[in-house]
Chains A and B, each alone.
Chain A
Amino acid sequence: MKNRILVVDDEPALLDVLEQYLRDEGFEVIRAADGPSAVELFSTHHPDLVVLDLTLPGLPGTEVLKRIRAERDVPIIMLTARTDEVDRVVGLELGADDYIGKPFSPREVVARVKSVLRRSERAGREPSATQRQIGALTIDNVAHEIRVGGKPVTLTPTQFKILDALASHVGQTLTRDQLLAHVSADADIFDRTLDRHIANLRARIEPDPANPQYIVTVFGIGYKMVKPA
């Protein structure tokens, strides 16, 4: 069965581009150019995923997101021309599954749509696994507990969120932006302090923080969680 995608943006020329790319990949596309019609089309057409611009006439994207989520737990990818951390975090705080800054490559949007759909199908829209084991590291994201070789380790909420984000993507590099996006708005985290949080995190979980086995730096891009050899 074809997945149905609702694409919401107030720029018709951009809707056109996204629609054609998504159709080319076999998706069925519904378009909305303002907030109220996005909410209405969501209710009447039951899309499998929503690509939602944050700045919309009629009703802001954040409000659209809230109303959509109040109705049904559907994957949402946010688009925005604002790249301030605050905006980025606002969407993810509200429960968006991914975030794409403008300008973007339409192929990137298609790739993210596929990946978010895969992820959500695999997860059956359940929250991420409650307990993860990576090497000697155990992460329980219900109890919010970390153990290294069975010994409990205390982390700050920000450190926990960063670790959880990395641990849900073992072997995959997360960019600085993606990591920042996982951290809440009130945590007051900015680009450079991310490095400090990583350093503190390593100090708590790595056997030798100077030669990390779990959280590896990917120079110029971000960080990656790996399974120690």
Chain B
Amino acid sequence: MRELIHEIRNQLAVAIGNVEGFRDGILEPTRARLDAVLAALGRIEVLLSQATSAEREERTPKP
């Protein structure tokens, strides 16, 4: 779980950093950068579903 959170924070940093860069006019919103943001968000989605199923497994009583 710790590693998951760690990776989510990392990917959030990528998404937030880029979008702020677009807003501040520091970064050109090129196709490659927009793809990087989407990839980071997609990765967060995957990580969150992994976290959800890990939690579900923990809750299921062992036979």
Which residues on A are within 8 Å of B, measured CB to CB?
11, 13-14, 16-18, 20-21, 24, 55, 81-83, 101-107
Q: Which residues of B lie under 8 Å from residue A20 when comparing CB positions?
A: 21, 26-27
B interface residues with partner A (beta carbon < 8 Å):
2, 5-7, 9-10, 12-18, 20-21, 24, 26-27, 33, 36-37, 39-40
> How many pairs, one residue from A and one from B, have CB atoms within 8 Å of each other in the complex?
67
Q: Tell whether, in the assembled complex, residue A102 and residue B9 are in contact, meaning their CB atoms are under 8 Å apart.
A: yes
The interface residues of chain B lying within 8 Å CB-to-CB of A17 are 14, 17-18, 20-21, 27
Q: Is the CB of B21 within 8 A of A11?
A: no
Task: Give the residue of A11, A55, A105 whose beta carbon is less than 8 angstroms from that of B6.
Answer: A55
A102 and B36 within 8 A (CB): no
Say yes or no: A103 contacts B16, CB within 8 Å.
yes
Q: A16-B33, A17-B18, A21-B21 are in contact. Are A102 and B27 (CB under 8 A)?
A: no
Q: Are A13 and B40 in contact (CB under 8 A)?
A: yes
CB nearest to B35 among chain A residues:
A13
Give complex CA distance A82, B8 in Å: 10
Contact A18 B17 (CB under 8 A): yes
Is the pair B16, A105 in contact by a Cβ cutoff of 8 Å? yes
